[in-house]
Amino acid sequence: MIVCVCHRVSDHTIAHAARSGAEFDDIQLELGVATQCGKCEDCARALWSECRPSHKLAHLSQTLQMPGSQSVTWMATA
């Protein structure tokens, strides 16, 4: 679907740029999204926000009781 009619930019193009780590300002500069009439900005920003990589990390820790009363703690990041 075309999101930015003025510059003929599709949702796939915006999603690909967002998944590649582009900031919205980068998308505007490179693709022209939301730089002419502005009618696509809300949709383009929502799509960019939905598709950009998440930077949230979950830290999990677990202690395992080993035979002979040894314990091992490990951390995992997801």
The CA distance from 4 to 43, in Å, is 9
Per-position b or e across 32-70, b if 16+ CB within 10 A of its CB: ebbeeeeebbebbeebbeebbeeeeeeeeeeeeeeeeee
Instruction: Say what the pLDDT of residue 68 is.
Output: 61
Instruction: Say what the pLDDT of residue 57 is.
Output: 46
Q: What is the pLDDT along the chain (78 residues), one digit of tens a residue?
A: 999 999 999 999 999 999 999 999 999 999 999 999 999 999 999 999 999 987 554 445 555 555 665 555 545 544
CATH of 1-78, one of 2.120.10.30, 1.10.10.1100, 2.40.110.10, 3.40.50.10890: 1.10.10.1100
Instruction: Say what the pLDDT of residue 53 is.
Output: 87
| Reported pTM | 0.68
Instruction: Say what the pLDDT of residue 66 is.
Output: 54
DSSP class of residue 66? E
Q: What does the domain layout of the chain look like in residue ranges?
A: 1-78
